[in-house]
A and B are shown apart, each in its own frame.
Chain A
């Protein structure tokens, strides 16, 4: 179990761990469900894209991310499957 601390620049984490206001670059999509994977790709979550955590739902889930100039809501469960590198 990793120690709980705020993700630092350069850390490799999954997207669900990113804090509000932080930005990260997508490294790898682990999503196994093929329909969901396809949809995520179509929505622009491809390797290298920069994603910022913008708003968090009042109940803690889902999370609203900003990417490619628009906002996309995703559940934590799906964000967990996306590996990222923190860039800010």
Chain B
């Protein structure tokens, strides 16, 4: 059996999906977390469950909503599992009335029933079932209440079939039935109604007799039929609501109380700035830096221990070097940042599940609108501080094409978690006690760059009317510890497996390139290596921001395309094989990177943070922007801007530094 999971945005579909299938799909408390369909098997059965992006109706508004309608319309489905948020049942049932028109068997899971008592809402479920002619099961996906029962009901197919609810008034109903007879396609009733609504997707099926019927109905109502149908649906729902739902309204909820502070006219923006500052300060600043020091010391001992053990085991010096100077240096350099990343992932996950994200979008919308973006652009930006790839995809929820494309192009400017190692490494070494402030300054710079770039892009694109901003404000939820830990665990797992695959392979290649000359001689000086000769050409590009020709720095920066953390891995390998200059920290103690000064360190960070993102993100940009040309435009724009900025920073910084000393 194939079952489609359908419901409003933020109604808890994915939470239920994970529960039913044992899957680990991402959840969050803002509308539009799920942007692609996900398939799983319901535990203990062979039923396939498909989690679809949340929709409010079957008239798609943004691109991810299109997926849901297309799926329901074109695929063979045996059951629709309609998830309803019991706390906003009126709006949720609007979708249900449309789903019923597809004439696919439907079962309603009335979710979040654990919140009803607190809200003073009472629902007469039996009456609701009768009125909708559909089986309704009250559940709570978060509390796991009654979910077993739901599985049993599905298994035994113990639900009402051939559902039919009389929703429309007599005249409208009659016309729908008449039009149905003229349609020779599946989902007759659904199409008949879409035709009456004037939906463009079904316009080409409208034949002459159908058109006559639509026109005569239109004359009857003297009103826009699209509105008539929406009115009729909601009228029917109001009728059911009055009968089956008893709610004590006008009660000030927890959400209202929290919003009085967090959305306060004077406090909202300062609070937001403090929250964001705290997140990055905790992750990139002293707390993160401290943990990195401990772990890297540990990594150093592991390296020397491994080397001695390998030599003791009679391993050749080149193979010991491959393991220690190649793999352990590269992968280890990355893994030493893990504690920091855990802090960052935890904090972002917390932000995502509380319901605050939608509020940031709400109160920054006006500002973003001035920049040619939408308040909804903020969601990709925040997710982007974890990873750009899901962030770029999250831009799908923005209905306006221009705003969406601009958001996609700007998202990689947000320093992602893979850039954190670069920030920590340079800021920690060159700015010592100011490391936290320097890290924060980079995030601030990222925001400035986004604002300036947005204003530039806004001029470049022929700008139409800004789209409407229509966003549901979800209630606050107490963060679910288990979900946050699981989300963080998933991200950490991905980071580690990335280090064990992509970074490991890249480190191996770098070790080979730096250990051999073009004539495949081993045991040469790194300056004679293949890598050095490749890097010497590149070095000219980086000269204006470094003040010196450094092949090691240049080849490392280019490897940011593979993965941003690879910049650090590559520097660690090159440093390990070059002569030590001093006893200080591994990387900057080596001759290869001893030239770095504060201005060149800052400039190099800026270049790495804001130039072209990794191949993964570039691929995501290609997919979401739609054309390779647009992707190249974005990549060149980002890299050009980063280079220019880095050069300006280095030149100015050196000038000021020269005056002071």
Contact = CB atoms under 8 A, between A and B. Distances in A.
Interface of A: 29, 33, 35-44, 46-49, 54-62, 64, 68-75, 77-78
B269 interface: yes
Contacts of A54: 256
Given A58-B264, A69-B88, A38 B59 contact: yes
A62 to B, nearest CB: 5
Given A41-B226, A68-B90, A71-B473, A60 B366 contact: yes
Interface stretch (B134-142, B463-471, B534-542, B589-597): B463-471
A12 B263 CA distance: 29
Nearest to B399: A35
A44 to B, nearest CB: 5
B650 interface: no
Contacts of A72: 470-473
**Which one of B61, B399, B469, B473 has the highest number of Cβ atoms from chain A below 10 Å of its Cβ?**
B473
B90 A64 contact: no
Contacts of B472: 43, 70-73
A59 B366 contact: yes
B94 interface: yes
Contacts of A77: 468
Nearest to A40: B470
A71 B369 CA distance: 21
Contacts of A40: 470
Contacts of A56: 265
A74 B94 contact: no
A49 B365 CA distance: 26
26 contacts: A33-B465, A33-B468, A39-B56, A40-B470, A42-B59, A44-B234, A47-B227, A57-B268, A57-B366, A58-B263, A58-B266, A58-B268, A59-B367, A61-B365, A62-B469, A62-B471, A69-B90, A69-B249, A70-B88, A73-B365, A73-B470, A73-B473, A74-B469, A75-B365, A75-B469, A78-B468
Contacts of B90: 44, 68-70
Contacts of A60: 366
A36 B259 CA distance: 27
5 nearest A-B pairs in the assembled complex, by CB-CB distance: A70-B88, A42-B57, A41-B230, A68-B90, A58-B268
B320 to A, nearest CB: 61
Contact of B471 (A29, A47, A69, A73): A73
B56 A43 contact: yes
Interface in B226-285: 226-227, 230-231, 234, 247, 249, 256, 259, 263-266, 268-269
A51 to B, nearest CB: 13
Contact of A73 (B57, B268, B362): B362
Contact of A57 (B89, B266, B362, B399): B362
Nearest to B85: A70
Contacts of A70: 87-88, 90-91, 472
A62 B259 contact: no
B375 interface: yes
Contacts of A62: 362, 365-366, 375, 469, 471
Contacts of B473: 55, 64, 71-73
A70 B265 CA distance: 22
A76 B590 CA distance: 60
B363 interface: yes
A48 B473 CA distance: 22
A41 B227 contact: yes
Contact of B263 (A55, A68, A74): A55
A69 B470 contact: no
A35 B89 CA distance: 24
Interface string B54-97: 00110101000000000000000000000000011111001000
Given A44-B90, A62-B365, A75-B468, A39 B231 contact: no
A40 B465 CA distance: 17
A69 B89 contact: yes
B91 A44 contact: yes
Given A41-B227, A59-B366, 18 more contacts: A35-B61, A36-B468, A36-B470, A42-B230, A43-B472, A46-B234, A49-B234, A57-B362, A58-B265, A58-B266, A68-B234, A70-B87, A70-B88, A70-B90, A72-B472, A73-B365, A73-B470, A75-B369
Nearest to A49: B234
B233 to A, nearest CB: 8
Nearest to A37: B226
A81 to B, nearest CB: 10
A38 B375 CA distance: 21
Contacts of A48: 231
Contacts of A73: 362, 365, 469-473
A24 to B, nearest CB: 16
A55 B362 CA distance: 10
B545 to A, nearest CB: 37
**Which one of B362, B363, B366, B468 has the highest number of Cβ atoms from chain A below 10 Å of its Cβ?**
B468
A58 B247 CA distance: 30
Contacts of B59: 38, 42
A33 B466 CA distance: 11
Contacts of B265: 56, 58
B274 to A, nearest CB: 14
A69 B116 CA distance: 12
A39 B61 contact: yes
B181 to A, nearest CB: 27
A73 B367 CA distance: 15
B366 A38 contact: no
B87 A44 contact: no
A52 B66 CA distance: 31
B94 A42 contact: yes
Nearest to B61: A39
A33 B231 CA distance: 19
Contacts of B469: 62, 73-75, 78
B91 A74 contact: no
